[in-house]
DNA sequence: CTCCCCACCTGACATCTGTCATGGGGTTCT
DNA sequence: AGAACCCCATGACAGATGTCAGGTGGGGAG
């Protein structure tokens, strides 16, 4: 019997998913969590064979929760499930030691079989998401450019970005300008949108 | 036996939810759809007692699908389920004739009981969402201001907005300026974010 | 009918942004 | 040591944006 931890902030989805996984003969959901922090708390108290985590959760996200969970329970296999697959997320997830990565558009049968396969030591990444990740490639942004672009993403003016990043306004503009050029964007917002879409910020 | 139509673009969620609803003695899911357009297509072929629709779906969204569905089947009760509840959405949904409105954070038991209650002719709106909607009040934006702000939301420059809205650039700037003032925002992006959060655009 | 709000426009101004040139200090690789 | 990066900065300029003042015309409320 494979013991599962299931985490998703949407109660309806989480219980429905639990129900569905319980239908499988060899799977049992022994704990649920509604946030990344709960995942960590539960992981301190109990042990699991496989954790199925939603990527987007309030507070600590799925990847961050996975990192902490794997520190506490190195033997636990982690599967990330996500609504919208961003290439950068996949990369971060894999480097965090996540063994499975699926969009929510996959079928229940696939989820169950992925749970079994990661429990057996295998890995599984949705083919479409991995293709996207390969196509997107690595971020061309330098760390500082990414920082600045992230601060610019919500439409803050240059002066505020400069204050928050402890930079001079001129430098901020230079970083923004080079980011816009590198991402082949029309303006900083376009650049931020692109970078976010590809998971680079 | 209450006959249900279930629509959600995420396959995993949809089947899990279907599974969960089927557990109820008096409910049966007779059709599923992965998009708003599918909802309409299915509604032409078959009839239902209650439709449970996700708000955000590719193409035609839940509310637009509900409008068309109610045109085809006036006797069908519609329940909208959503991940993030925006006050404006609730308002639009209710004026489209939707009878139930729930966040995905509610429990399965609540969903089932709401399905029964709307089928019996009742209405149900999640208390927290309706409180938010009341607190948010009505949009202070004129229709044109809302149009322009929507076009500005993705960071397009004024000239492009002007072209797309068939306005002069000066007018666009005036609308934007008044929207920013009305929404008490720092700049147009802040205004767009606020308006989007409240479901006004 | 008058008043007010809305849709649309123009023009002018200060400020903010995007871009370019240029430079110094640091690390890493050859 | 030199080349090739990255980080950080300044200054300058065109163009975009935010704000204000003002004008036309239409429709609904009083």
Domain range summary for chain B, segments of one domain joined by +:
2-135, 143-197
Q: Which CATH number fits domain B143-197: 1.10.10.10, 3.40.50.150, 3.90.79.10, 1.10.510.10?
A: 1.10.10.10
Residue A12: its pLDDT value, please? 93
* Closest by CA position to A47, among listed A93, A87, A4: A4
Task: Please compute the mean of the pLDDT values over residues A29-57 and round it to a whole number.
Answer: 95
Distance between CA A190 and CA B4 in Å, rounded?
A: 42
**CA at A155, C1' at C19: how many angstroms apart?**
20
Average pLDDT for chain A:
91
Q: How far apart are CA B27 and CA A149, in angstroms?
A: 50
Give the mean model confidence (pLDDT) for residues A104-118: 94
What's the fold here for domain B2-135? Rossmann fold (3.40.50)
Which residue, among A9, A13, A152, A196, would best test binding to B if mutated, counting the most B CBs under 10 Å from its CB? A13
Structure confidence at residue B61 (pLDDT): 87
- Cα–Cα distance between B56 and B59 in angstroms, integer? 9
Neighbours of B118 (CB within 10 A): 23
For chain B, how big is the Rg over CA atoms in Å?
19
Q: Which two tokens stand for residue A184?
A: 């082949």
Q: Is B60 exposed, middle or buried (0-12, 13-18, 19+ CB in 10 A)?
A: middle
Q: How far apart are CA B40 and CA A86, in angstroms?
A: 30
Contact criterion met (CB below 8 Å) for A2 and A22? no
Q: Is A19 within 8 Å of B16 when comparing Cβ atoms? A: yes
Which ranges of chain A does DSSP label H, i.e. alpha helix? Answer: 11-22, 36-45, 62-72, 87-95, 108-119, 127-136, 143-152, 158-165, 169-182, 188-197
- Asked if residue B191 lies in contact with residue B183, where contact means CB atoms within 8 angstroms, the answer is yes
Q: pLDDT tens for residues A144-186?
A: 898 899 999 888 889 989 999 998 898 999 999 999 998 988 8
SS3 of A110-133: HHHHHHHHHHCCCCEECHHHHHHH
Using an 8 Å Cβ cutoff, are B10 and A104 in contact? Answer: yes
A58 burial type by CB count under 10 A (0-12 exposed, 13-18 middle, 19+ buried): exposed
Q: Which residues contact B5 (CB under 8 A, 6 or more apart)?
A: B29, B30, B31, B32, B33, B39, B42, B43, B46, B48, B50, B51, B52, B53, B76
At A87 the pLDDT is 83
CA atoms within 13 A on the CB side of A61: 10
Q: What is the pLDDT along chain B (201 residues), one digit of tens a residue?
A: 999 999 999 999 999 999 999 999 999 999 999 999 999 999 999 999 999 999 999 889 899 999 999 999 999 999 999 988 788 888 888 888 999 999 999 999 999 999 999 999 999 999 999 888 887 777 788 888 998 999 998 888 999 999 999 999 999 999 999 999 999 998 889 899 889 888 888
Strand D bases within 7 angstroms of protein beta carbons: 6-12, 16-22
Which H helix or E strand runs over B54? Answer: strand B50-54
Q: What is the CATH number of domain A2-136?
A: 3.40.50.2300
Token digits for B161? 């907005």
On chain A, the residues whose CB falls within 8 A of the CB of B192 are 155
- How close A76 gets to chain B, by Cα (Å)? 23
Separation in Å: C6 C1' and B172 CA: 15
């Amino acid at each position: 019997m494979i013991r599962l931890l299931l985490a998703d902030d949407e109660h309806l989805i989480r219980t429905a998913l639990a129900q569905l996984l319980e239908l499988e003969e060899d799977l049992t959901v022994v704990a649920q969590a509604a946030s990344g922090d709960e995942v960590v708390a539960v992981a301190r108290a109990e042990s699991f064979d496989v954790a199925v985590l939603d990527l987007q959760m309030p507070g600590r996200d799925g990847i961050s929760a996975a990192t902490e969970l794997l520190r506490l329970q190195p033997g636990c296999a982690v599967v990330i499930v996500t609504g919208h697959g961003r290439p950068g997320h996949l990369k971060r997830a894999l480097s965090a030691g996540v063994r499975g990565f699926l969009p929510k558009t996959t079928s229940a049968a696939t989820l169950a079989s992925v749970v079994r396969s990661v429990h057996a030591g295998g890995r599984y990444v949705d083919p479409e998401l991995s293709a996207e990740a390969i196509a997107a490639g690595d971020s061309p942004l330098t760390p500082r450019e990414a920082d600045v672009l992230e601060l610019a993403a919500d439409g803050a003016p240059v002066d505020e970005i400069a204050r928050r990043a402890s930079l001079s306004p001129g430098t901020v503009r230079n970083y923004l300008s080079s980011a816009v050029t590198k991402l082949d964007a029309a303006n900083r917002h376009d650049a931020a949108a692109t970078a976010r879409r590809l998971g680079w910020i």
